[in-house]
Amino acid sequence: MADVFADQAVAAMVAASREPQLAVSVAELRRGGKARAALRPPGPAMPVEDRTVGGVGVRVYHQSGDAVIVFAHGGGFVLGDLETHDAFVRRLAHATGRTVVAVDYRRAPEDPFPAAVDDVLTVLDAQTAARVAVAGDSAGGFLVVQAALVRRERIDAQLLVCPLIDVTLPAATQPSVAEKGTGYTLDVAQLREWIGWWAPEKAPDPLAEDLTGMPPALVAVAEHDPLRDGGSQYAQRLTAAGVPVVHRTAVGHVHNFAQSVHVSTACAEVDAQWLRDAAQLLSGSG
């Protein structure tokens, strides 16, 4: 059966990912990410402050409420930064009414595990608000789940977009890894290489850990994403542990639809749904 994509813009992204790609350095990939971010429309206007927390760089998106979200960006533990996710984080802060603290965590290959997790925990532990949630997309989702595993009593919600949950990417138990691992915008071979640089095999496995008492979760996955099954299995294990979960699959979409809202009406629609779900989950957490 032929693949069906959410709209022509998503289909075009898939087609572009199937064209021959030039080998480029990590530095060039990072520069490209910044350049693409600069072309995206800005998110909602709000007071924003760059500073450090416990020696870790953060960007704070201020809202008037007294609750906080600690956010970790995606990028395979290698790419991504505060700029690439600025518009998305602005939308998250605006939709939820919570101040968002985005973590400029250390990345591989310069700083392997557990540097990024330590940075997220440092920022999380510094928050004084009574209610603190965590949020992340892709590899950032893995980082905030790691934080939730060791600070579950401190966190009131986990908000995940296309999260990387199982860093072993086992095709035998997660068919999406094999079915969607090549030619669907996120290349599993490349991701495996980056994961190897970061060495997260030393990290706790969310699909093996006791999830009792974990905070309520919003888990959004995409149909044509190799990470789909890992995210869905995490949602299922949370539910089995008695944790309230909102689990949605974005039909016809590829990895990290939230970064393409400016080119795809369908991406904008599922992003808006995720933001509504996040606001509703947080409104019931305190």
- Count other Cβ atoms within 10 Å, centred on residue 115: 16
pLDDT score recorded for residue 225: 98
Strand partners, 103: 58, 72
Distance CA 40, CA 60 (A): 20
Contact 224, 3 (CB under 8 A): yes
Distance CA 230, CA 33 (A): 25
Instruction: Out of 17, 64, 138, 264, pick the active-site residue.
Output: 138
Mean pLDDT of 270-279: 98
Tens digits of residue pLDDT in 213-267: 999 999 999 999 999 999 999 999 999 999 999 999 999 999 999 999 999 999 9
Tens digits of residue pLDDT in 112-127: 999 999 999 999 999 9
Tens digits of residue pLDDT in 153-182: 999 999 999 999 999 999 999 999 999 999
pLDDT score recorded for residue 202: 84
Listed range (20-29, 88-97, 102-111) with the worst mean pLDDT? 20-29
pLDDT score recorded for residue 59: 98
Cis peptide before 114 (omega within 30 of 0): yes
* Percent of the chain scoring above 70 in pLDDT: 99
Mean pLDDT of 100-122: 97
Residue in 76, 77, 75 with CA at minimum distance from that of residue 85: 75
Q: Among all chains, which residue has been given the structure tokens 């939230």?
A: 258
- Domain ranges, ordered by start, for the chain: 8-283
pLDDT score recorded for residue 130: 95
Tens digits of residue pLDDT in 53-71: 999 999 999 999 899 999 9
Q: Is the pLDDT of residue 285 over 70?
A: no
> Quick one: fold of 8-283?
Rossmann fold (3.40.50)
Give the chain's mean pLDDT: 96
Mean pLDDT of 19-48: 94
* Percent of the chain scoring above 90 in pLDDT: 94
**Banded pLDDT at 286 (limits 50, 70, 90):** low
Distance CA 193, CA 183 (A): 17
Q: Is 260 an active-site residue?
A: no
Distance CA 137, CA 116 (A): 14
